[in-house]
């Protein structure tokens, strides 16, 4: 069984060209899930941005969070749009909201049987998926039903 949910060969994540997302990707390599929090007004913010959309502070810090969420929406793509997915069959993508952090949302795959019934509202937790053989190595955050 493969150690990654999707086959190798898909585009890999990079924090280039501006480094804005570098703390996130450095964190996942260490098994830490981090998002931005505004030092000015305390708002959680995701994805990475340079400024707080509420108070316009540029002082955004990175905080480790628990990986507890619930499924907000999902899709099960069948048609391969990338050669790495040819013949792979359907897979599940979930949009997960994190109630403990202002309901910010994260995108990932739902681990397990790709034909499973997906329930909106179901609780899920984050799972780190290292891609150690990639150049450079990176770690994705995936989700599984609790």
> Which residues are near other proteins by CB under 8 A?
6, 10-18, 21, 25, 46-49, 53, 72-79, 81-82, 85, 90-91, 93, 95, 104-109, 120, 138, 140
Q: Which is nearer to other proteins, 39 or 116 (CB)?
A: 116
Compute the least distance from the CB of residue 57 to other proteins, in Å. 17
Structure-token match 């949009």, residue found = 95
Q: Which residues 6+ apart lie within 8 Å of 89 measured at CB?
A: 78, 114
The smaller minimum CB distance to other proteins, of residues 40 and 77, is found at 77
Contacts of 115 (CB under 8 A, 6+ apart): 90
Cβ at position 24, least distance to other proteins in Å: 9
Q: How far is the CB of 39 from other proteins (least distance, A)?
A: 19
Q: Give the span between the Cα atoms of 90 and 116, in whole angstroms.
A: 11
**Pick 84 or 146: Cβ nearer other proteins:** 84
Q: Measured between alpha carbons, how far is residue 96 from residues 86, 113, 125, 141 in Å?
A: 26, 18, 9, 11
CB of 35 to other proteins, least distance (A): 10
Of 66 and 83, nearer to other proteins (C-beta) is 83
Burial environment of residue 38 by CB neighbours within 10 A (0 to 12, 13 to 18, 19 or more): buried
């Amino acid at each position: 069984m493969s150690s990654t949910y999707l086959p190798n060969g898909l585009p890999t994540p990079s924090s280039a060209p501006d480094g804005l997302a570098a703390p996130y990707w450095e964190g996942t390599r260490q098994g830490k899930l981090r998002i931005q929090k505004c030092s000015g007004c305390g708002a959680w913010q995701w994805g990475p941005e340079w400024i707080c959309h509420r108070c316009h502070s540029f002082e955004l810090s990175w905080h480790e969070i628990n990986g507890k969420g619930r499924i907000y929406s999902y899709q099960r793509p069948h048609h391969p749009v990338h050669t790495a997915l040819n013949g792979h069959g359907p897979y599940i993508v979930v949009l997960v909201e994190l109630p403990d952090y202002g309901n910010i949302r994260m995108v990932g795959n739902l681990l397990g049987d790709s034909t499973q019934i997906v329930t909106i509202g179901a609780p899920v937790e984050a799972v780190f998926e290292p891609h150690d053989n990639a150049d450079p190595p990176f770690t994705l955050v995936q989700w599984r039903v609790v």
